[in-house]
Structure 1
Amino acid sequence: MTLHWANLLTNRQVIEAFYTSVPPLEGVLLRSVHLERAGPGLVLRLGLPVFPDRPLSEWSEGHYDRFQCQVQFGAVGEIDWRGWRPGAAADVTLEAEPEQRVRVEVAADGVALRFTAAADALVGKPSAYRVTAQGEEHSYVSKVDRFRFGHGVPEAWERSFYGRI
């Protein structure tokens, strides 16, 4: 049975603060994948296909038009990962498995990622962004992320951003 990702979230209120109806993970931008040894866990950073209908006022005033968040899965196993294209348009499907598990499949042109995980997940690190002539400009919800990263994207090695929700 195919599951809506929001139904797996133990902190669903984080994403529902921005969306009246949480969009499915179809046509998302696959921005990064972070594997965690301890746990084991896996974090997907995704650009959602629809900008929130309840954005922060500064996002509207600043003409931000894109939204990203991270989805963290725990007790990850059976990982099969082939190819990588950052920013690829992807579809993420979740299928119920026995014993409170879920099978996650990320499919994009040049990318195939499959794994199983516990049947609950966390969402975090919500931010809006826009593309400018100089690159991407981000507006983070977290005051700590705003202070540490300004309007930029953290370096790939920044575990406090990519490894934690």
Structure 2
Amino acid sequence: MNWTKFLIDSSKISAIYSDKLPLLESTVLHDVVLSRDGPKLILRLDLFEFPESPPQKWVKLGFNRVQIQLTALNIQNLKIEGLGTECMCNISIHSENKVLFIKILGEEIKIEFTSEFLILNKISAYLDNGKNTGHP
């Protein structure tokens, strides 16, 4: 499923991943931040797939993991169940009548909500030694 089509602006992630856009499967969820302004929900997560042709800066620094920050605006119908220290999960998004239905599902956590807008705020990379992220 091409989740990037739900972003207000997908140019950042398209520039990094080109035609082979990453899935939101086996992501590692680091943070869920709620804000009354919007109201909004901010997710910080690691993508499982690293780009085939990453930026040269990432190559030079030996980075092997991409981390993104997604912001969902005007959230409603929020449900959160569970919490854990290693939240590997799959994220699904679909749209009905201009409303996004977002579900985050892992062994330790389940989050569901609706949103009007989805923004990719940040995309970065780092060296993942496998100790803290849950990825192999």
TM-score of the pair, normalised by structure 2: 0.88
Shift of 1:97: 2.4
Aligned length: 132
1:1-165 map, 5 Å: 4-20=2-18, 21-98=20-97, 100-118=98-116, 120-131=117-128
| Higher-Rg member (1/2) | 1
1:30–1:86 contact (8 Å) kept in structure 2: no
C-alpha separation between the residues in 1 aligned to 2:37 and 2:110? 23
Aligned with 1:18: secondary structure?
helix
Deviations 1:82-140 (A, max 9, x none): 11124421000112223x1011100011100000111x31112211111359979xxxx
Letter in 1 for 2:28: L
- 2:95 and 2:28 map into 1 onto residues whose CA distance is 23
In 2: Cα distance, 1:28 partner to 1:131 partner: 13
Looking at structure 1, the residues matched to 108 and 130 of structure 2 have their Cα atoms a distance apart, in angstroms, of: 27
* Counterpart AA for 1:26: E
Against the structure 1 CA distance between its residues 111 and 133, is the aligned structure 2 distance closer, same or farther, given a 3 Å change threshold? closer
- The answer for unaligned runs of 5 or more in structure 1 is 137-165
| TM-score normalised by structure 1 residue count | 0.73
Amino acid at match of 2:125: A
Letter matched to residue 31 of structure 1: H
**Which structure ranks higher in relative contact order (CA pairs < 8 Å, sequence separation ≥ 6)?**
2
